[in-house]
Amino acid sequence: MSSATLDHADLLDETPAAKPARKRPTRDRHVTDFIQLCEQARDAGLMERDIKWYVARIVRQSLGYLAVLALFLTLGQSWWQLVTAVLFAFLCTHTAFLSHDAAHRQVFASAKKNAWLARFAGNLFVGLSYGWWMNKHGKHHLNPNKIGVDGDIDPGALVFDPENAAKRTGFAKWFARRQGAFFFPLLTLAALDLHISAVRRVLDRKQVVPERKAEIAMLVVRLVILPAFTLWFLGWGLGLAFIAVQVMALGVYMGGSFAPNHKGMPLVPKDVKIDFMRRQTLMSRNISGGWWVDAGMGGLNYQIEHHLFPTMSSKNLKAVQPLVRAYCAERNITYTETTLGQSYMIVMRYLNRVGLGQRDPFECPITAQLRSAR
């Protein structure tokens, strides 16, 4: 889909002994341009890691967990504990954001240190497997919204590809036609699904899971010992209610933070190749809204910038946004940004239209052209 150009050939030496000029390797213009964008970001200091900022973030979250623990122990067997459950889910989601950043090597220069921070935060505090996350999320970043490759759009309770929706029958077909309306109710089960996927991954010996024993140990603490202590301390009735509210709130918050980034954006056929810049930009959506959106979504609201610079600290994504905007404007690349509320409406309408068997209503011209050419 992109036109390739040759760099200028070396000038010939005007002497009888001159050798024929050799053509330099062909480099795609889009690749060259993106390298220039990377250099601009690097020159602006936006690729530098800020460990102090992450340490402060970890300290704030630690104090938050201590405050929630104190509230939990103080309230005792009171139904106000359900508020504590929501606060705990809030903190777990922000720890998931931290684990996400570490998994992308944004915190430390050392890959090993980043991996352990992501593993510790994700397994012990959120209840998801770092090994599972890296496998799934890595494929997503390489090919966002690519059918058959990006696991985030694989058919499940929700279906994102009209062709898969057309194959459903009976209740599944009925549900798919109304799936947009069930979007938020299903998010209440998202955290439970993450927990189940984590356990399956670490217990499946056929799957490669680095530091498997450490992951299992941390998941046992988070998913067995912590719930058991909750039931012992609060009793069966209140304890089960606490666990249920915490799991549902975690699913809604996490799912509500990740879903707006790609859902409802163009789908890419498995056999279509697109250059890196367009692959990451056209399939991603930014969320505007000011500081509260920045804080509430942990930097995921700058999804375009994050996909272009996955190792850039989430702290710097806002600063690099003007560079990316200008780059896209100069090259007529669609840059999608909307509010959080509008993004949810887009996602729900998209899901309903997919369930009705309609083609992707948000298909970009480039992707449509490629599809028709195949």
| 155-190: pLDDT as tens digits | 788 888 888 888 888 998 898 888 999 999 999 999
Residue 358 has a pLDDT of 67
What local confidence, expressed as pLDDT, does residue 192 receive?
95
Count how many residues are written for the chain: 374
Q: What is the pLDDT of the chain when averaged over all its residues?
A: 87
Cα torsion angle, 223, 72, 85, 231, sign: positive
Q: What percent of the chain stands above pLDDT 90?
A: 64
Q: Does residue 361 surpass a pLDDT of 70?
A: no
pLDDT confidence bin for 27, thresholds 50/70/90: low
Mean pLDDT, range 337-366, rounded to an integer: 78
Q: What's the pLDDT score for residue 29?
A: 60
Q: How confident is the model at residue 57 (pLDDT cuts 50, 70, 90)?
A: very high
pLDDT of residue 106: 96
Instruction: Name which of 164, 144, 156 is nearest 281 in CA terms.
Output: 144
Q: What is the pTM of this model?
A: 0.85
pLDDT reported for residue 355:
80
Least confident of 217-221, 253-257, 367-371: 367-371
pLDDT exceeds 50 at position 113: yes
Given a cut of 60, whether residue 104 has pLDDT beyond it is yes
Average pLDDT of span 290-302: 94
